[in-house]
């Protein structure tokens, strides 16, 4: 070779494969990627030179080539690689005619050798030296993929598509096709023998790896295309001009693993839907996944621009359909990948959610479903498979899906890791559902699928709310029959205001319409009776208003009721639903208010300081700015006292509603009480029932010392990372009859060990006045565990140092020791999560002790179900621990101390008989039980005065035999004109003629008063001389009871229930009447 030389080979040169050569040193052997090689020689004649001389030969390499439209079609394959292949890649150039596009489809291999003769040769699963690259007409990279992960079909944007098969690390970079000007006078030669040896190893390793077919389509009519870049644009055919008729276009967007796809529409104009039935003729269908069966995100038509759409995984499927009639401009959207992996927001009135098709380890995905306000969500798990449960997932601790009310800080609605014997159903109380999908490194397959829909039939209580038609502000579904039954505070009326109505218009509102009806009851309900609305109790109602049509010009006037109860119904038929529906706000008027983000305010009862109205219910909701808390100062309160504040009261809750923790319950007189919320919300409720007093007056202020909050304990993690100058209080609260266990994992305090300004204090109770469990001032990483003796733990964290923090885990403990006060009528206890089963605790242990060691305890169920029960145990030696409820007459689980054992096959269990202990202790142990029970104490000593409204009296030692030769006298005190009712629950005394030996004698007022029943009582229940189940006391007054035994013979004894009558008829011409419990 003798060509004029310059450093850039500009003047005279030889060009091969985009590279230029000049000078006297010939280039090394040059190999084409396919069956064509273009050689160009340029001479400007400014300086004569001899030129060049070379030779070429064709080499059978078994892959690559130029494939042109019109030539015979061949399959693209690498199963015939030649042992003379001197390069490490195969190259195909697929050429379509002008106005055509090229598409390539890949198919997996059918056979593969399992032998690899050289450890340096490629591996099927290796993407570093064994992969395929597809480049577009302009040379840009469309997709690079491994042989074991073949993509869906790929289409060019122009008329040429490039494909490169690489099997050597030396050619690993993404190849961009462009001219390069290189002086190669000093390039080294290629060693053909080494390459041939490598190819021999390669061919020995693989008989066939993949094959592909290619196709050519007219560019003006073909619109199917798959997108593999993380950023891109999709347009309807012929955009921005009108799209053509009769098109069926499909796009699949596939971004990198661990990413989500966000769609943002810049224009959307398709043929409008039918005005008769809202049918979309031309539409864009979008699905979460890679095919036409993936969960539907939405089906869009008309000119309403779709909202911002985010996929759940790294695939989105789009399909555009146009019919033969009307066309429009079409649509344009931009998409981009976001680094999240899975999860998203669902706002459709119904839909499906699936876990990602593929995922790595330690994945945490979160979905939020938010539907129209006023309705609730019902979710059905239709598929759930995580494979066999490993030891570390026996209680769904590592691989599971969990549902929460509203958000991840809301109440847990259930955690699931298998379907067991039924498909779980989850129902919310609000219009929002939060779903968390968590897997660890042990799981690489499996997942879940669920469907959800909107439930627009519900009961609502409170003083304010919003109701929207399902799918608002988009068109509502067909054939709806929605019913919202609303109960406001007692003594208030309700006002309904529409903010939008866009419904089908018809004469007399025959088709789609809204009815608003007022409910009339002889005795109005208060808010505590909201559950009675579901009992279908009879009531009268009349329709206040019927609405339909389009109210865009002028909205309806407010609708006001005279009662505190209304019913709103919405009906849609099977025809038109193209309009947005309706939105309304309802509010109770009379007393109460909503305060939002106000620095201060005043709250008082109606007419204060004059007497308040009777039979009225008032609610005040106070919400401060995030990070603030609320201080309430009750300056004065003058309310009518009632037992347990059951009639007139003032209740203050730390939270948004009456289900929040109760801060105080007042029903007497007082002043200057200060209460603080634990978060940024507070609820104040005043209730008056047929009594009149002065009322109350209070003020509130919001402060920025709002760090902390209230946590309803189940199981969780608490931390405050990187705190700086913080003063935070946290209250962990369990149900009344359960304890809390916390584990302090670490406490960091990089500053001084000053316990006044820097500390973490943990108290056994609901305030910093409770007993101190632990105090940390110096930082530590040694974990330790604490358990409350109450149903709450108060945590106070204070720091003036940057970088201070703590990490605490907490969980509820199933069971505790409970003291039964002999002044209480009874103590109620329920199983955890009652009336539902709580799967995380299969065994619970409750120990009850009477406050007076001389008392005994009586225990009775009001509801009992067992889960996965296996049999009935009548006291045999079977332990029956799979599902049981066992009561012990002891503080230990001793078989000979069993009082009662329940263990049956699955059914609603007949409530067992009450049990009575022989001492002051009772132990209840349950396995997979759902129950509600009442526990009370019984006086076991001989005689005494009783001032109780109701209670029990028993013979000494009951239910065991009574002692010999004793005399017990009880006095039941009653207020003037009050009458007692007596009922024997058990009666067994020694029989004798005229009851002269052992007997019970009951008289009015004292030992010489009128004898009740006209005789002494002895014998057994049902005998002529014994007690009858109920004794009629005809005259008012106190009761005197005498129990006498002789020196010979005993029996079981008696158990007597007494209470003051709720209905008394007096026939005396004059007298004194006293309220029950008023003995002065």
**What fold is seen in the domain 345-389+396-455?**
Jelly Rolls (2.60.120)
Asked whether the CA dihedral 1007, 1013, 1014, 1018 is positive or negative, the reply is negative
102-120 burial code (b ≥16 CB/10 A, e <16):
bbbbbeebeeeeeebeeee
Give the residue-averaged pLDDT of 1011-1034. 77
DSSP characters over 114-169: ---S-TTS--TT-SSSSEEEEE-TTS-EEEEEETTS--S-EE-SSSEEEEEEE-SG
Query: How far apart, in whole angstroms, are the C-alpha atoms of residue 13 and residue 204?
Result: 42
| Of 646, 601, 638, 635, residue with least CA distance to 620 | 601
Query: In the chain, pLDDT over 70 holds for what percent of residues?
Result: 81
Dihedral pair phi/psi, residue 529, rounded to 5°: -100, 20
Query: How far apart, in whole angstroms, are the C-alpha atoms of residue 335 and residue 310?
Result: 10
Give the residue-averaged pLDDT of 35-39. 82
The structure tokens 């229930």 sit at 1057
Give the residue-averaged pLDDT of 913-921. 81
Q: Which class is domain 815-869+881-938?
A: mainly beta
Query: Which band of pLDDT confidence, cut at 50, 70 and 90, is reported for residue 85?
Result: low
Query: Which band of pLDDT confidence, cut at 50, 70 and 90, is reported for residue 217?
Result: confident
What pLDDT is stored for residue 659 in this prediction? 78
Query: How far apart, in whole angstroms, are the C-alpha atoms of residue 150 and residue 440?
Result: 27
**CB contact at 8 A, 762 and 772:** yes
What pLDDT is stored for residue 553 in this prediction? 74
743 or 654: which carries more pLDDT confidence?
Answer: 743
Query: How far apart, in whole angstroms, are the C-alpha atoms of residue 831 and residue 214?
Result: 66
What pLDDT is stored for residue 517 in this prediction? 94
**CB contact at 8 A, 1030 and 983:** yes
* CA geometry: angle 667, 670, 673, nearest 5 deg: 100
Query: Which band of pLDDT confidence, cut at 50, 70 and 90, is reported for residue 1003?
Result: very high
Task: At 751, list the tokens.
Answer: 């500053």
Q: Write the CB contacts of 908 (distance below 8 Å, at least 6 apart in sequence).
A: 865
Does the pLDDT value for residue 232 go beyond 90?
no
Query: Which band of pLDDT confidence, cut at 50, 70 and 90, is reported for residue 693?
Result: confident
| Of 1034, 1024, 1025, 951, residue with least CA distance to 985 | 951
346 or 135: which carries more pLDDT confidence?
Answer: 135
- Cα distances from 28 to residues 16, 54, 126, 183, 712, in angstroms, run 12, 11, 31, 12, 77
Asked whether the CA dihedral 297, 235, 280, 583 is positive or negative, the reply is positive
Query: How far apart, in whole angstroms, are the C-alpha atoms of residue 1024 and residue 964?
Result: 24
Flag the least confident range among 150-154, 483-487, 753-757.
Answer: 753-757
DSSP characters over 520-554: E-SS---GGGGGGGGGT---EEEEEEEE-SB-SSS
Count CB-CB contacts under 10 A for residue 650: 24
Flag the least confident range among 146-155, 168-177, 397-406, 1048-1057.
Answer: 168-177
pTM above 0.75, yes or no: no
Query: How far apart, in whole angstroms, are the C-alpha atoms of residue 814 and residue 1007?
Result: 50
What pLDDT is stored for residue 707 in this prediction? 67
Q: In what order do the strands lie in the sheet with 19-21?
A: 19-21, 13-16, 39-42
- Cα distances from 735 to residues 595, 610, 794, 866, in angstroms, run 29, 39, 15, 21
Query: In the chain, pLDDT over 90 holds for what percent of residues?
Result: 19
Per CATH, 58-109+129-168+208-218 and 592-812 having the same topology is answered yes
What pLDDT is stored for residue 121 in this prediction? 31
201 or 58: which carries more pLDDT confidence?
Answer: 58
Give the residue-averaged pLDDT of 1058-1074. 82
What pLDDT is stored for residue 876 in this prediction? 38
Query: Which band of pLDDT confidence, cut at 50, 70 and 90, is reported for residue 788?
Result: confident
- Residue 187 is classified by DSSP as P
DSSP characters over 324-351: SS----EEEEEEEEETT-SEEEE-SSEE
- Mean pLDDT estimate for the chain: 79
Task: At 237, list the tokens.
Answer: 């055919």
Give pLDDT tens digits for 174-196: 333 333 333 333 333 333 333 33
Q: Is 256 exposed, middle or buried (0-12, 13-18, 19+ CB in 10 A)?
A: exposed
Q: Is 819 helix (H, G, I), strand (E, B) or coil?
A: strand
Does the pLDDT value for residue 506 go beyond 90?
no
Domain ranges of the chain: 1-54, 58-109+129-168+208-218, 223-340, 345-389+396-455, 457-522+540-589, 592-812, 815-869+881-938, 948-1079
Query: Which band of pLDDT confidence, cut at 50, 70 and 90, is reported for residue 620?
Result: very high
Q: Does domain 58-109+129-168+208-218 have CATH number 2.60.120.290?
A: yes
Query: Would strands 967-972 and 944-946 be described as parallel, antiparallel, or unpaired?
Result: parallel
Highest mean pLDDT of the ranges 137-146, 389-398, 504-513, 714-723? 504-513
What pLDDT is stored for residue 437 in this prediction? 86
Query: Which band of pLDDT confidence, cut at 50, 70 and 90, is reported for residue 434?
Result: very high
Give the residue-averaged pLDDT of 1032-1052. 88
What pLDDT is stored for residue 113 in this prediction? 34
What pLDDT is stored for residue 387 in this prediction? 66
Does the pLDDT value for residue 118 go beyond 90?
no
Give pLDDT tens digits for 542-600: 888 999 988 877 889 999 999 999 999 999 988 776 567 899 999 998 888 989 889 99
944 or 421: which carries more pLDDT confidence?
Answer: 944
Give the residue-averaged pLDDT of 1035-1049. 90
Q: Is 993 helix (H, G, I), strand (E, B) or coil?
A: helix
Flag the least confident range among 745-754, 870-879, 937-946.
Answer: 870-879
Does the pLDDT value for residue 282 go beyond 90?
yes
What pLDDT is stored for residue 494 in this prediction? 94
Give the residue-averaged pLDDT of 366-395. 79
Give pLDDT tens digits for 451-475: 899 999 999 998 899 999 998 887 8
- Correct CATH for 457-522+540-589 of 3.40.50.970, 3.30.420.40, 1.10.150.240, 2.60.120.290: 2.60.120.290
Flag the least confident range among 130-134, 610-614, 846-850.
Answer: 610-614
Does the pLDDT value for residue 907 go beyond 70?
no
What pLDDT is stored for residue 881 in this prediction? 62
The structure tokens 């779980």 sit at 424
Query: How far apart, in whole angstroms, are the C-alpha atoms of residue 618 and residue 608?
Result: 14
Task: At 502, list the tokens.
Answer: 């866009």
- Cα distances from 1076 to residues 132, 627, 949, 1071, in angstroms, run 91, 48, 7, 16
- Cα distances from 1016 to residues 432, 964, 970, 987, 1026, in angstroms, run 67, 18, 15, 13, 8
Query: Percent helix, strand, coil in the chain (nearest 5)?
Result: 5, 45, 50
What pLDDT is stored for residue 467 in this prediction? 95
Does the pLDDT value for residue 621 go beyond 90?
yes
Query: Which band of pLDDT confidence, cut at 50, 70 and 90, is reported for residue 889?
Result: very high
Query: Which band of pLDDT confidence, cut at 50, 70 and 90, is reported for residue 225?
Result: confident
Give pLDDT tens digits for 820-871: 887 666 688 888 767 766 555 667 889 999 888 888 888 877 778 777 543 3
Q: Which class is domain 948-1079?
A: mainly beta
What pLDDT is stored for residue 911 in this prediction? 64
Give pLDDT tens digits for 674-683: 887 867 889 9
Query: How far apart, in whole angstroms, are the C-alpha atoms of residue 1080 and residue 1074?
Result: 9
Give the residue-averaged pLDDT of 1026-1051. 84
Flag the least confident range among 24-38, 613-627, 652-666, 856-870.
Answer: 856-870
**CB contact at 8 A, 509 and 434:** no
**CB contact at 8 A, 1037 and 1066:** no
**What fold is seen in the domain 223-340?**
Jelly Rolls (2.60.120)
- Correct CATH for 592-812 of 3.20.20.80, 3.30.590.10, 2.60.120.290, 3.40.30.10: 2.60.120.290
DSSP characters over 460-512: EESSEEEEE-TTTTSPPPSS-EEEEEEE--TT-EEEEEEEEEE----GGG-SS
Query: Which band of pLDDT confidence, cut at 50, 70 and 90, is reported for residue 35?
Result: confident
128 or 980: which carries more pLDDT confidence?
Answer: 980
Q: Please tell me the total number of residues recorded for the chain in this structure.
A: 1080
Dihedral pair phi/psi, residue 346, rounded to 5°: -115, 125
């Amino acid at each position: 070779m003798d060509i004029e030389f310059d450093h850039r080979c500009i003047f005279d040169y030889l060009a091969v494969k985009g590279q230029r050569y000049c000078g006297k040193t010939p280039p090394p052997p040059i190999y084409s990627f396919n069956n064509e090689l273009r050689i160009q020689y340029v001479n400007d004649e400014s300086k004569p030179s001899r030129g060049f001389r070379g030779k070429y030969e064709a080499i059978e390499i078994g892959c690559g080539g130029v494939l042109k439209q019109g030539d015979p079609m061949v399959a693209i394959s690498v199963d015939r690689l030649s042992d003379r292949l001197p390069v490490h890649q195969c190259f195909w150039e697929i050429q379509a005619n002008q106005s055509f596009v090229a598409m390539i489809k890949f198919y997996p291999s059918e056979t593969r050798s399992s032998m690899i003769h050289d450890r340096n040769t490629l591996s099927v699963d290796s993407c570093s030296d064994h992969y395929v690259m597809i480049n577009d007409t302009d040379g840009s990279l469309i997709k690079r993929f491994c042989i074991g992960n073949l993509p869906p079909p790929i289409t060019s944007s122009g008329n040429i598509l490039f494909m490169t098969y690489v099997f050597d690390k030396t050619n690993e970079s993404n190849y961009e096709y462009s001219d390069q000007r290189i002086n190669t006078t000093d390039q080294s030669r290629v060693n053909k023998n080494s390459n041939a040896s490598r190819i021999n190893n390669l061919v020995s390793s693989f008989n066939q790896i993949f094959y592909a077919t290619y196709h050519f389509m007219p560019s003006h009519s073909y619109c199917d295309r798959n997108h593999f870049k993380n950023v891109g644009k999709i347009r309807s055919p012929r955009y921005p001009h009108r799209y053509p008729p009769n098109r069926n276009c499909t796009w699949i967007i596939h971004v990198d693993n661990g990413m989500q796809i966000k769609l943002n529409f810049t224009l959307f104009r398709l043929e409008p839907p039918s005005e008769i039935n809202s049918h979309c003729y031309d539409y864009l269908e979008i699905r979460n996944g890679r095919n036409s069966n993936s969960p539907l995100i939405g089906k869009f038509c008309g000119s309403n621009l779709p909202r911002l759409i985010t996929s759940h995984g790294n695939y989105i499927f789009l399909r555009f359909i146009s019919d033969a009639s009307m066309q429009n401009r079409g649509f344009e959207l931009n998409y981009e990948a976001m680094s999240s992996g899975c999860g998203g927001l669902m706002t459709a009135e119904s839909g499906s959610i699936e876990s990602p098709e593929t995922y790595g380890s330690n994945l945490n995905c979160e979905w939020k479903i938010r539907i129209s306000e006023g309705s609730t969500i019902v979710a059905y798990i239709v598929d759930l498979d995580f494979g066999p449960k490993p030891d570390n997932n026996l209680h769904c601790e590592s691989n599971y899906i969990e549902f929460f009310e509203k958000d991840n800080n809301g109440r847990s609605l259930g955690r699931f890791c298998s379907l067991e014997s039924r498909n779980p159903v989850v129902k919310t109380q609000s219009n929002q559902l939060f779903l968390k999908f968590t897997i660890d490194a042990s799981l690489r397959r499996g997942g879940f699928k669920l469907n959800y829909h909107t439930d627009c039939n519900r009961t609502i209580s409170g003083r304010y709310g919003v109701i929207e038609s399902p799918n608002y502000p988009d068109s509502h579904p067909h054939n709806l029959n929605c019913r919202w039954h609303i109960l406001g505070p007692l003594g208030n009326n309700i006002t309904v205001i529409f903010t939008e109505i866009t419904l089908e218009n018809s004469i007399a509102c025959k088709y789609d319409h809204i009815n608003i009806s007022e409910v009339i009851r002889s005795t109005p309900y208060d808010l505590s009776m909201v559950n009675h609305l579901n009992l279908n109790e009879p009531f009268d109602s009349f329709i206040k208003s019927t609405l339909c049509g389009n109210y865009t010009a002028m909205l309806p006037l407010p609708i006001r009721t005279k009662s505190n109860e209304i019913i709103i119904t919405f009906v849609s038929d099977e025809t038109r639903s193209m309009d947005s529906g309706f939105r309304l706000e309802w509010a109770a008027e009379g007393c109460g208010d909503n305060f939002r983000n106000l620095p201060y305010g005043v709250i008082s009862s109606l007419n204060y300081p004059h007497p308040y109205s009777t039979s009225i219910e008032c609610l005040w909701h106070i919400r401060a700015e995030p990070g603030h808390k609320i201080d309430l100062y009750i300056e004065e309160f003058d309310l009518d006292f009632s037992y347990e504040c059951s009639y007139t009261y003032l209740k203050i809750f730390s939270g948004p509603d009456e289900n929040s923790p109760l801060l105080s319950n007042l029903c007497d007189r007082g002043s200057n009480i200060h209460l603080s919320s634990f978060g940024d919300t507070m609820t104040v409720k005043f209730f008056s029932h047929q009594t009149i007093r002065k009322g109350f007056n209070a003020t509130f202020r919001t402060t920025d010392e709002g760090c902390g909050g209230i946590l309803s304990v189940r199981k969780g993690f608490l931390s405050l990372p990187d705190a700086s100058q913080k003063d935070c209080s946290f209250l962990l609260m369990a149900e009344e009859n359960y304890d809390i266990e916390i584990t302090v994992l670490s406490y960091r305090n990089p500053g001084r060990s000053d316990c006044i300004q820097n500390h973490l204090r943990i108290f056994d109770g609901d305030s910093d006045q409770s007993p101190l469990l632990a105090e940390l001032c110096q930082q530590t990483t040694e974990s330790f565990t604490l358990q409350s003796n109450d149903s709450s733990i108060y945590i106070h964290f204070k720091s003036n140092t940057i970088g201070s923090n703590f990490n605490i885990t907490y969980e509820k403990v199933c069971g505790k020791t409970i003291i039964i006060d002999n002044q209480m009528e009874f103590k109620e206890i329920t199983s955890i999560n009652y009336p539902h089963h709580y799967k995380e605790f299969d065994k619970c242990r409750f120990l009850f002790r009477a406050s007076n060691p001389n008392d005994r305890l009586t225990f009775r169920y009001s509801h009992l179900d067992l889960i996965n029960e296996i049999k009935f145990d009548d006291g045999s030696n079977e332990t029956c621990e799979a599902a049981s409820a066992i009561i012990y007459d002891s503080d230990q689980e001793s078989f000979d101390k069993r009082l009662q054992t329940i263990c049956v096959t699955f059914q609603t269990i007949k409530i067992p008989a009450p049990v009575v202990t022989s001492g002051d202790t009772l132990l209840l142990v349950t396995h997979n039980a759902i129950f509600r029970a009442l526990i009370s104490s019984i006086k076991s000593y001989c005689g005494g005065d009783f001032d109780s409204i109701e209670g029990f009296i028993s013979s000494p030692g009951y239910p065991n035999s009574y002692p010999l030769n004793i005399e017990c006298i009880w006095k039941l005190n009653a207020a003037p004109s009050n009458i007692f009712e007596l009922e024997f629950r058990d009666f067994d005394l020694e029989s004798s003629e005229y009851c002269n030996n052992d007997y019970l004698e009951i008289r009015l007022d004292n030992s010489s008063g009128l004898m009740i029943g006209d005789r002494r009582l002895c014998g057994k229940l049902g005998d002529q001389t014994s007690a009858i189940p109920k004794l009629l006391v005809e005259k008012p007054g106190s009761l005197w009871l005498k129990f006498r035994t002789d020196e010979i013979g005993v029996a079981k004894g008696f158990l007597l229930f007494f209470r003051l009558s709720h209905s008394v008829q007096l026939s005396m011409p004059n007298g004194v009447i006293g309220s029950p419990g008023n003995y002065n």
